[in-house]
DNA sequence: ATGTAC
């Protein structure tokens, strides 16, 4: 199964006909160029179509690329009342990895004279990289429980943020039904010292400038305008989420024969949503999701303190949304309302205008969808559209074009930083090797991804942001 | 993504 097996149905829509054990078709939203870049991920989209209880189609977003079991950029919904399964591979190892955008009350011109001070303030204030500490150090399970059940709300309760922040968070900052009892001791140990830390790889905190506004009314509702300074934070649930994924994949591999489930790839390990293993995973996953949200809340507070001190500026939350999560949601499929388990792995929820889960001040505009690009290029703010396919989902980023190893070959981190600084982008990196692995050429063109997502009717462009300062793990 | 290996 490769890109050659895809039939083009529309300018940005390709179809994989059901064959073999596939229960539904595969649908890939992409341009011809992006489909050709998807490579091995196409076979994974077909594999996901074999999962018990899958509804409608196995979907892939324009930034789809190969991942653990499920492709990154995949969306799959199952019906629990029809034996539908939940699969940790459909969420990914970095549970609730996502993006938070804050808008400053100053423009780029006003920040310029103090940018170096802001960057020098962020450098020590934003813990990142491997094992380098965090905003909070919690001794153990008891101290972590508030975070695992309360997410961003718990951080706010403890003085890290304001109530309004929660209105601008997906799920108001916490997924319900978190079950800390399903989080292993090992996951707790790994997570206890990492609350409020970026991590590494493609995770970052960037100071950005709004370079272009495509829809002024929606942008105004989101609280952003041209030339304004914003802060974008991209990070997840660190070692805790990783350990939860590992634990529950193992558990489901053991349980699958008892449920009579066969999958074409071991990495698609899954269990019925309505089974002990399925419920255990969803409870632990929700706890990791809340950890990820609290993580972004604490890092946002750290950035706020720096901006207040170094620039006399305030940062208001635009939105916080995950792109690695499974959620129980209501959707109308073929005219019938159904409660489904929607897996989004490297895909962003994009609620349309009027959706009841949106806060009042965003009801007419739709949900802010935050798309991190690569350092040195652009990031995007999008919004959901009515009547979109794929269970109100869209892309999540540029998507890698080269492996980490390939990317670092022939690129020197120090030279890369110097080149970016010459282009007017301040860089505070914690690892030269890590920086080299993230050079923009290692990624697909995020603008082409967003173009395809909009062309496919998944979302609409609202604004484009460019980096002025990059803080990397 | 990830104490880059159970």
Residue A39 has pLDDT above 90, yes or no: no
Residue A321 has pLDDT above 90, yes or no: yes
Q: Give the pLDDT band of residue A137 (cuts 50, 70, 90).
A: confident
User: Among positive and negative, which fits the CA dihedral A120, A161, A196, A325?
Assistant: negative
Residue A224 has a pLDDT of 98
pTM, two decimals, is 0.98
Contact A139, A355 (CB under 8 A): no
- Residue A126, Cα to own-chain centre: how many angstroms? 19
Q: How far apart are CA A239 and CA A237, in angstroms?
A: 7
Mode of pairing for the β-strands spanning A26-28 and A58-65: parallel
Residue A392 has pLDDT above 70, yes or no: yes
pLDDT tens digits, one per residue of A282-303? 999 999 999 999 999 999 999 9
Residue A410 has pLDDT above 90, yes or no: no
- As a rounded value in angstroms, the CA-to-C1' distance for A243 and B6 is 14
Q: Give the pLDDT band of residue A131 (cuts 50, 70, 90).
A: low
Residue A76 has a pLDDT of 98
Could you tell me the domains of chain A? Answer: 3-132+196-238+301-472 (3.90.1860.10)
Whether the beta carbon of A454 falls within 7 A of nucleic chain B: the reply is: no
A62 CB-near residues (< 8 Å, 6+ apart) = A12, A29, A30, A31, A34, A73, A395, A448, A449, A452, A453, A456
pLDDT tens digits, one per residue of A46-69? 999 999 999 999 999 999 999 999
Q: Please, what's the largest Cα pairwise distance for chain A? A: 65
Residue A287 has a pLDDT of 98
Residue A95 has pLDDT above 80, yes or no: yes
Q: What is the mean pLDDT of chain A?
A: 96
Q: Which residues of A329-357 are buried (b: 16+ CB within 10 A; e: fewer)?
A: bebeeeeeebebbbbbbbbbbbbbbebee
Contact A39, A57 (CB under 8 A): no
Whether the beta carbon of A440 falls within 7 A of nucleic chain B: the reply is: no
Quote the tokens at residue A266. Answer: 């071991």
Contact A323, A226 (CB under 8 A): no
Q: How far apart are CA A362 and CA A381, in angstroms?
A: 14
Residue A143 has a pLDDT of 84
CB < 7 A to strand B: residues 132-161, chain A: none
- List, by residue number, the catalytic residues of A: 396
pLDDT tens digits, one per residue of A104-126? 999 999 999 999 999 999 999 99
Question: Please, what is the Cα angle at A167 between A173 and A177, to 5 degrees?
Answer: 30
Whether the beta carbon of A236 falls within 7 A of nucleic chain B: the reply is: yes
Contact A471, A47 (CB under 8 A): no
Q: Give the pLDDT band of residue A140 (cuts 50, 70, 90).
A: confident
């Amino acid at each position: 199964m490769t890109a050659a097996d895809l039939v083009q149905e529309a300018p940005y829509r390709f179809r994989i006909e059901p064959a073999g054990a596939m229960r539904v078709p595969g649908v890939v939203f992409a341009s011809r160029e992006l489909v050709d870049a998807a490579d091995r991920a196409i076979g994974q989209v077909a594999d996901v179509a074999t999962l018990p209880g899958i509804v409608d189609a196995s979907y892939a977003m324009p930034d789809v690329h190969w991942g653990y079991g499920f492709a990154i950029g995949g969306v799959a919904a199952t019906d629990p009342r029809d034996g539908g399964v939940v699969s940790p591979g459909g969420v990914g190892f970095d549970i609730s990895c996502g993006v938070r955008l804050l808008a400053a009350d100053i423009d780029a011109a006003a920040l310029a004279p103090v940018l170096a001070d802001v960057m020098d303030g962020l450098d020590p204030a934003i813990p990142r990289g491997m094992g380098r500490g965090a905003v909070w150090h919690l001794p153990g399970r008891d101290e972590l429980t508030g975070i695992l059940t309360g997410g961003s709300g718990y951080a706010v309760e403890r003085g890290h943020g304001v109530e309004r922040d929660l209105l601008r968070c997906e799920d108001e900052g916490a997924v319900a039904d978190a079950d800390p009892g399903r989080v292993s001791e090992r996951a707790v140990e790994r997570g206890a010292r990492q609350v409020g830390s970026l991590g590494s790889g493609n995770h970052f905190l960037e100071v950005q400038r709004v370079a272009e506004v495509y829809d002024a009314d929606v942008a105004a509702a989101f609280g952003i305008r041209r030339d304004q300074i914003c802060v974008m934070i991209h990070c997840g649930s660190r070692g805790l989420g990783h350990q939860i994924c590992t634990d529950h994949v193992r558990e489901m591999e053991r349980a699958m024969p008892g449920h009579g489930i066969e999958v074409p790839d071991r990495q698609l390990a899954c269990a019925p949503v309505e089974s002990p293993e399925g419920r255990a995973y969803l409870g632990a996953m929700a706890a990791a999701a809340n950890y990820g949200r609290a993580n972004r809340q604490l890092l946002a507070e750290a950035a706020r303190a720096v901006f207040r001190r170094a620039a006399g500026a305030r940062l208001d939350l635009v939105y916080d949304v995950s792109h690695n999560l499974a959620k129980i949601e209501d959707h109308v499929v073929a005219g019938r309302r159904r409660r489904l388990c929607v897996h989004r792995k490297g895909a962003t929820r994009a609620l349309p205008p009027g959706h009841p889960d949106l806060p009042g001040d965003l009801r007419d505009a739709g949900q802010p969808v935050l798309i991190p690009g690569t350092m040195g290029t652009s990031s995007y703010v999008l919004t959901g559209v009515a009547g979109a396919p794929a269970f109100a989902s869209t892309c999540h980023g540029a998507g890698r074009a080269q492996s980490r190893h390939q990317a670092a070959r022939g690129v020197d981190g120090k030279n890369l930083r110097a080149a970016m600084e010459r282009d007017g982008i301040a860089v505070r990196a914690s690892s030269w090797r890590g920086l080299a692995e993230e050079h923009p050429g290692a990624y697909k063109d995020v603008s082409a991804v967003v173009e395809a997502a909009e062309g496919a009717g998944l979302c609409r462009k609202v604004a484009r942001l460019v980096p002025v300062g990059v803080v990397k793990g």
